[in-house]
């Protein structure tokens, strides 16, 4: 089976700066791949290079088996001939067209007959619950509705590949959760392949089949959401994916020695030496183990967030809101060996 | 790699703009660079100092008037501001040629109407507008709207918190104005100063009407004289053109140097609401100043013109005056050039405006969206005519095409078109790049990934969304084309007379009332076009 998208050794430079530096990945048919990373990591540039909106300086891009960019073979297919669609961060709804005209644009631009376009447009608008808005001016819609128009425009033509550039980042928190579910549902029903750019790890975890984590123009790590969640390979990956405790330690014989002399058991068969251990606040078990002082208690809604201090080592842990813990008191804590990762990079 | 449509567009614009701008400039350079001729030209004549004097005095006083108008209009509680602002811009739409002619009727030392009145009442002549003072007076009135627009825009884009923080930290209103507002106004004032200086250095119409009769000759009128002697002395004219070009380029370079040293980040693109200063009783005085400006720059000259087009001859004796339409009839039916000139002018106006709109849409898009080496070159080429006085441009065009069999446009209206396109290009490209910067680039990206090519995207997305700007550019270029004198006067032939040239022709022939009638008709066309634009804008807002 051919891949929906195959990106090999992609390089995009702005002057002397490489915004994307030898990035390779594949997207299989009907797969949702997320490019995740902080701003400036090259994820949007990569996406725009796939769309043909950014011109790479090297590498290869193939869509559905057909080469659309190849630096060595001097192939560069313009965006309009790549046969994909895209949802933009700003929605990019044309204000001089009605909702239906916006959605019908991909048909008109490609010279498709009205008799074919009209039912497809109606179907797409129905899928995003905007059937009643077809003749409205696009500028009269709310942000969420404009987002739906952008979505309808991207799925109406039925391209096998849809690109998403931080599509939910301009919506408020509640709408964002709702659209996330609708998006996942829509993709399952229509079965297109998606490349999705976001800086929000929750969004990436909940929507993706596979995640490519980027940093400084390069791929830091890629894998399924559960792989990445359970086993970040580097300090950066761990920190970006919400592992709040990353502590320098000496690793030897299944134990990590922290700066305060504390020994923690770890499951690790790598070479001994200096490294770091990483564990999520939720993995910290309170009530037994070694002592630490509660430096600060922050009320965070569903839970209390504690800053524990044991000598030079700070640890963040969670506790139930009713637990009655107070700043300045001492508490016992430990982490199970299975919850503690050793990071050597 | 097959070149993308963007690359082809950039390349095509580079060729076209290079041809329109660089070829004439280069031919002035080549034909005028004769050191001995230049030395002979510059010795023993007041022409150069006259020109510099006119440029410096006009630009300084125009900027002073414009800055005062801008401050009054943008920052004080002037009564009737909403109505006064468009009136202040009216001088832009009345060709300086007509303003100068009307003022010469009013203020020539012997026959001037004002002087006739004071002669009769008090026995002396009041004013003498023939000579340097008259030229500078009328030119400052005519060009003041340019600095007014630039400085008012600068004032409105200035963050009021800059002034507020001066006040909070102990500065009086006066101190804050002198130490914060005024220094921040400097860049736009300096920009306006250079712009007006470059325009007036090559100004032909006002010195031709008011200067020459008073013995005040400048480079532009000298170039015209050299080309209209027999045999025409093209080489000497080109040498003068080169002198003019050197001065204006120097002025632009100096401006860039001065502005590059200090960076003023006051203009954020945000629209602020400037704080209005309550002027108390003084606001009526300020209103009087604005009304005086409007009266001197537009109302009085236009009223004189209309009166002259209707009265049997120019007299101050009410008993001798008779009013009818015979001058209009003469111009329309007897004077042979009027109809041809009107047809040529309208044709040139429509074609120039349409081509400028199309070219500036393309060039503006390349400049704003491409941002590569080619785009920078397009920007420089499109903006270069700002530093080239139009009479120099016309000289270059004349020199290029006079003997060019390859493109035999000499003697046709096409040669005027070539000069107009280069001359109005900066205006169109600047307006369109401004409009395109307001347009989110993803609107175009969305069209491209939807399967639309570059041209389709420009036509279906960019064009409709920038239509208000395009319409404004079209109308203003159309109006300015009708007014253009400095380039037209060098390039016309008997078959390609345009309205402004016909008016100058009538002026030289002394057919004053006929000239007034033609002038009134030209004003009517201008204001018809402007009111169409206003209606289009209203409809655009309603839709």
Residue among B470, B385, B397, B409 at smallest CA distance from B434: B470
Give the phi and the psi of residue A308 in degrees, each rounded to 5.
-100, 140
pLDDT for res A219:
95
pLDDT for res B268:
44
List the single best residue of A53, A75, A80, A146 to mutate versus B (max B Cβ within 10 A).
A80
Beta-carbon pairs below 8 A across chains A and B: 76
Out of A294-298, B217-221, B536-540, least confident range: B536-540
Out of B146-160, B356-370, B488-502, least confident range: B146-160
Q: What range does the domain containing A225 cover?
A: 5-230
CA nearest A158 in B: which residue? B450
Q: Residues of B with CB below 8 A from A106's CB? A: 450-451
> Is the domain of A159 the same as that of A294?
no
Q: How many residues does chain B have?
A: 543
Q: Residues of A with CB below 8 A from B445's CB? A: 48, 51, 53, 79, 86, 88, 92
Q: Among partner residues B440, B461, B465, which is closest to A90 by beta-carbon distance?
A: B440
**Does B369 contact chain A (CB < 8 Å)?**
no
Contact across the interface for A105 and B452, Cβ inside 8 Å: yes
Domain boundary among A230, A254, A287: A230
Contact across the interface for A105 and B447, Cβ inside 8 Å: yes
The answer to whether residue A155 is domain-embedded is yes
pLDDT tens by residue, B312-345: 878 777 888 888 888 899 888 888 888 899 999 9
What is the dotted CATH code of the domain comprising B1-27+325-543? Answer: 1.10.3720.10
> Is the domain of A299 the same as that of A194?
no
**Does B447 contact chain A (CB < 8 Å)?**
yes
pLDDT for res B144:
95
Q: Among partner residues A75, A78, A85, which is closest to B450 by beta-carbon distance?
A: A85
Residue among B392, B506, B369 at smallest CA distance from B440: B369
CA nearest A72 in B: which residue? B1
Q: Does residue B234 surpass a pLDDT of 60?
A: yes
Looking at residue A308, which CATH number applies to its domain? 2.40.50.140
Average pLDDT, chain A: 90
> Is the domain of A134 the same as that of A14?
yes
> Is the domain of A214 the same as that of A106?
yes
> Is the domain of A100 the same as that of A184?
yes
Contact across the interface for A88 and B464, Cβ inside 8 Å: no
pLDDT band at B77 (very low <50, low <70, confident <90, very high): confident
Q: Does residue B540 surpass a pLDDT of 70?
A: no
CA distance A73 to B1: 8
Q: Residues of B with CB below 8 A from A51's CB? A: 445, 448-449
Q: How far is CA B74 from the centre of its chain?
A: 23
**Does B110 contact chain A (CB < 8 Å)?**
no
CA distance B185 to B188: 6
Contact across the interface for B445 and A53, Cβ inside 8 Å: yes
Mean pLDDT over residues A42-55, rounded? 93
Contact across the interface for B451 and A74, Cβ inside 8 Å: no
Within 10 Å of residue B341's Cβ, how many Cβ atoms? 24
pLDDT band at B280 (very low <50, low <70, confident <90, very high): confident
Q: Does residue B542 surpass a pLDDT of 50?
A: no
> Is the domain of A206 the same as that of A57?
yes
pLDDT band at B352 (very low <50, low <70, confident <90, very high): very high
Q: Is the CB of residue A248 less than 8 Å from the CB of residue A276?
A: yes
Q: Does residue B267 surpass a pLDDT of 60?
A: no
> Is the domain of A322 the same as that of A203?
no
> Is the domain of A136 the same as that of A253?
no
CA distance B473 to B361: 10
> Is the domain of A273 the same as that of A145?
no
Mean pLDDT over residues B448-463, rounded? 92
> Is the domain of A67 the same as that of A32?
yes
Q: Among partner residues B1, B4, B465, which is closest to A96 by beta-carbon distance?
A: B465
Shortest Cα–Cα distance, B450 to chain A (Å):
5
Domain boundary among A230, A258, A290: A230
**Does B449 contact chain A (CB < 8 Å)?**
yes
pLDDT tens by residue, A181-225: 999 999 989 999 999 999 999 999 999 999 999 999 999 999 999
Residues 6+ positions from B463 with CB-CB distance below 8 Å? B361, B470
pLDDT for res B323:
84
Out of A161-175, A276-290, B54-68, B399-413, least confident range: B399-413
CA distance B128 to B130: 6
pLDDT for res A24:
96
Give the phi and the psi of residue B350 in degrees, each rounded to 5.
-65, -45
pLDDT tens by residue, B88-113: 999 999 999 999 999 999 988 877 88
Shortest Cα–Cα distance, B193 to chain A (Å):
36
pLDDT tens by residue, A299-330: 888 888 999 998 888 999 998 888 788 888 99
Mean pLDDT over residues B70-80, rounded? 88
Shortest Cα–Cα distance, A198 to chain B (Å):
17
pLDDT for res B261:
56
Shortest Cα–Cα distance, B263 to chain A (Å):
24
Provide the angle, in degrees to the nearest 10, between the axes of the packed helices B96-107 and B113-122: 20
Contact across the interface for A78 and B4, Cβ inside 8 Å: yes
Write the ipTM. Answer: 0.82
When the candidates are 1.10.3720.10, 1.10.1030.10, 3.50.50.60, 3.60.20.10, the CATH number that belongs to B34-298 is 1.10.3720.10
The most confident of A133-142, A332-341, B14-23, B150-159, by mean pLDDT: B14-23
List the single best residue of B371, B372, B449, B461 to mutate versus A (max A Cβ within 10 A).
B449
Contact across the interface for B446 and A92, Cβ inside 8 Å: yes
List the single best residue of A77, A103, A109, A140 to mutate versus B (max B Cβ within 10 A).
A109
CA distance B297 to B90: 8
Contact across the interface for A86 and B446, Cβ inside 8 Å: yes
Q: Is the CB of residue A178 less than 8 Å from the CB of residue A128?
A: no
pLDDT band at B462 (very low <50, low <70, confident <90, very high): very high
- Residue A56 to residues A8, A20, A88, Cα–Cα distance (Å): 11, 9, 20
Q: Does residue A165 surpass a pLDDT of 90?
A: yes
pLDDT band at B266 (very low <50, low <70, confident <90, very high): very low
pLDDT for res B272:
66
Rg of the Cα atoms in chain A: 24
Residues 6+ positions from B47 with CB-CB distance below 8 Å? B217, B218, B219, B222, B240
pLDDT band at B263 (very low <50, low <70, confident <90, very high): very low
> Which residues, numbered 4 to 23 in chain B, qualify as contacts with chain A under a Cβ-Cβ cut-off of 8 Å?
4-5
Q: Does residue B165 surpass a pLDDT of 50?
A: yes
Q: Residues of B with CB below 8 A from A86's CB? A: 445-446, 449
Provide the angle, in degrees to the nearest 10, between the axes of the packed helices B132-143 and B47-75: 40
The three state secondary structure string of A224-261 is: CHHHHHHCCCCHHHHHHCCCCEEEEEEEECCEEEECCC
pLDDT for res B543:
40
Looking at residue A223, which CATH number applies to its domain? 3.40.50.300
Within 10 Å of residue B9's Cβ, how many Cβ atoms? 21
> Is the domain of A80 the same as that of A172?
yes
Provide the angle, in degrees to the nearest 10, between the axes of the packed helices B413-437 and B467-483: 150
- The share of chain B scoring above pLDDT 70, in percent, equals 96
Q: Beta strand A161-165 with A193-198: parallel, antiparallel or unpaired? A: parallel
Q: Residues of B with CB below 8 A from A162's CB? A: none
Asked if domains B1-27+325-543 and B34-298 share a fold, the reply is yes
Contact across the interface for B464 and A96, Cβ inside 8 Å: yes
Mean pLDDT over residues B181-210, rounded? 89
Chain A contacts to B (CB-CB under 8 A): 48, 51-53, 74-76, 78-86, 88-90, 92, 94-96, 105-106, 109-110, 150, 153, 157, 163
pLDDT for res B317:
78
Shortest Cα–Cα distance, B453 to chain A (Å):
6
> Is the domain of A317 the same as that of A189?
no
Shortest Cα–Cα distance, B447 to chain A (Å):
8
pLDDT band at B174 (very low <50, low <70, confident <90, very high): confident
> Which residues, numbered 479 to 518 in chain B, qualify as contacts with chain A under a Cβ-Cβ cut-off of 8 Å?
none
Mean pLDDT over residues B283-306, rounded? 94
pLDDT for res B23:
92
CA nearest A157 in B: which residue? B450
pLDDT tens by residue, A61-90: 999 999 999 989 999 999 999 999 999 998
Mean pLDDT over residues A233-245, rounded? 91
Average pLDDT, chain B: 87
CA distance B363 to B428: 9
List the single best residue of B450, B456, B464, B468 to mutate versus A (max A Cβ within 10 A).
B450
Number of domains in chain A: 2
CA nearest A15 in B: which residue? B372
Contact across the interface for B446 and A51, Cβ inside 8 Å: no
Q: Does residue B172 surpass a pLDDT of 90?
A: no
């Amino acid at each position: 089976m051919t891949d929906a998208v195959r990106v090999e050794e992609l390089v995009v430079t702005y002057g002397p700066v490489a915004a994307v530096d030898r990035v390779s990945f594949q997207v299989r048919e009907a797969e949702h791949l997320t490019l995740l990373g902080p701003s400036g990591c090259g994820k949007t540039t990569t996406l725009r290079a796939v769309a043909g909106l950014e011109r790479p300086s090297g590498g290869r891009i193939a869509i559905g088996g057909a080469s659309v960019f190849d630096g060595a073979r001097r192939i560069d297919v313009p965006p309009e001939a790549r046969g994909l669609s895209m949802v933009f961060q700003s929605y990019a709804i044309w204000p001089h067209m009605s909702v239906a005209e916006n959605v019908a644009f991909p048909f008109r631009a490609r010279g498709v007959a009205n008799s074919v376009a009209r039912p497809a447009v109606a179907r797409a608008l129905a899928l995003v619950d905007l059937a009643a808005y077809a003749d409205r001016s696009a500028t009269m819609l709310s942000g969420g509705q404009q987002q739906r128009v952008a979505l309808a425009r991207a799925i109406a033509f039925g391209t096998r590949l849809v690109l998403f550039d931080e599509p939910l980042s301009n919506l408020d928190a509640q709408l964002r959760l709702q659209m996330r579910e609708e998006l996942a549902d829509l993709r399952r029903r229509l079965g297109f392949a998606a490349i999705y750019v976001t800086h929000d790890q929750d969004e990436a975890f909940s929507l993706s089949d596979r995640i490519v984590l980027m940093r400084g123009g390069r791929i830091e790590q890629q894998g399924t959401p559960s792989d990445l969640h359970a086993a970040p390979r580097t300090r950066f990956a761990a920190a970006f994916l919400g592992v709040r405790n990353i502590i320098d330690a000496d690793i030897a014989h299944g134990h990590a020695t922290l700066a305060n002399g504390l020994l923690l058991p770890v499951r690790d068969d790598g070479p001994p030496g200096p490294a770091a251990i990483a564990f999520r606040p939720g993995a910290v078990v309170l009530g037994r183990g070694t002592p630490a002082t509660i430096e600060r208690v922050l009320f965070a809604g569903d839970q209390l967030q504690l800053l524990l201090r044991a000598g030079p080592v700070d640890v963040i842990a969670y506790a139930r809101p009713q637990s009655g813990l107070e700043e300045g008191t001492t508490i016992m804590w430990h982490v199970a060996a299975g919850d503690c990762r050793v990071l050597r990079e | 790699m097959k070149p993308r449509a963007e690359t082809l567009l950039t390349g095509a614009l580079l060729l076209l703009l290079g041809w329109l701008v660089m070829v004439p400039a280069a031919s002035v350079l080549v034909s005028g660079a004769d050191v001995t001729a230049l030395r002979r030209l510059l010795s023993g004549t007041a022409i150069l100092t006259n020109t510099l004097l006119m440029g410096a005095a006009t630009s300084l006083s125009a900027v002073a008037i414009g800055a005062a108008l801008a401050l009054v209009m943008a920052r004080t509680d002037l009564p009737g501001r909403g109505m006064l602002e468009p009136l202040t811009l009216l001088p832009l739409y009345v060709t300086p040629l007509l303003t100068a002619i009307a003022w010469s009727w009013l203020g020539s030392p012997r026959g001037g109407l004002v002087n006739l009145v004071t002669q009769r009442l008090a026995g002396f002549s009041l004013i003498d507008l023939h000579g340097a003072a008259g030229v500078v007076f009328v030119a400052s009135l005519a060009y003041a709207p340019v600095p007014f627009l630039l400085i008012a825009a600068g004032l409105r884009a200035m963050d009021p918190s800059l002034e507020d923080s001066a006040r909070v930290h102990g500065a009086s209103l006066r101190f804050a104005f002198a130490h914060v507002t005024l220094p921040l106004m400097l860049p736009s004032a300096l920009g306006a100063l250079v712009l007006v200086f470059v325009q007036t250095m090559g100004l032909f119409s006002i010195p031709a009407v008011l200067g020459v009769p008073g013995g005040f000759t400048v480079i532009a009128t000298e170039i015209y004289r050299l080309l209209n002697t027999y045999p025409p002395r093209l080489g000497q004219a080109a040498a003068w053109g080169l002198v003019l070009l050197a001065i204006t380029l120097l002025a632009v370079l100096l401006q860039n140097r001065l502005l590059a040293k200090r960076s003023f980040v006051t203009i954020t693109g945000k629209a602020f609401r400037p704080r209005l200063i309550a002027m108390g009783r003084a606001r009526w005085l300020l209103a009087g100043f604005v009304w005086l400006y409007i009266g001197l720059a537009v109302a009085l000259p236009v009223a004189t013109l209309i009166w002259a087009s209707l009265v049997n001859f120019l007299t101050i004796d009410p008993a001798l005056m008779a009013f009818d339409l015979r001058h209009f009839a003469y111009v329309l039916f007897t004077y042979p050039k009027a109809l041809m000139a009107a047809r040529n002018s309208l044709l040139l106006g429509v074609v120039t405006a349409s081509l400028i709109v199309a070219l500036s849409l393309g060039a503006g898009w390349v400049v704003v969206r491409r941002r590569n080496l080619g785009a920078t070159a397009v920007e420089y080429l499109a903006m270069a005519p700002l530093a080239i006085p139009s009479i120099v441009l016309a000289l270059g065009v004349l020199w290029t095409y006079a003997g060019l069999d390859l493109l035999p446009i000499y003697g046709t209206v096409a040669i005027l078109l070539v000069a107009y396109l280069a001359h109005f290009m900066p205006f169109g490209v600047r307006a369109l790049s401004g409009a395109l910067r307001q347009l989110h680039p993803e609107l175009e990206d969305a069209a491209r990934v939807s399967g639309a090519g570059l041209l389709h995207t420009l036509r279906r997305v960019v064009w409709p969304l920038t239509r208000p700007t395009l319409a404004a550019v079209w109308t203003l270029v159309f109006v300015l084309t009708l007014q253009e004198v400095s380039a037209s006067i060098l390039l016309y032939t008997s078959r390609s007379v345009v309205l402004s040239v016909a008016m100058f022709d009538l002026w030289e022939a002394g057919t004053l009332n006929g000239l007034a009638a033609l002038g009134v008709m030209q004003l009517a066309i201008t204001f018809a076009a402007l009111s169409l634009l206003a209606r289009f804008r209203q409809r655009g807002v309603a839709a």
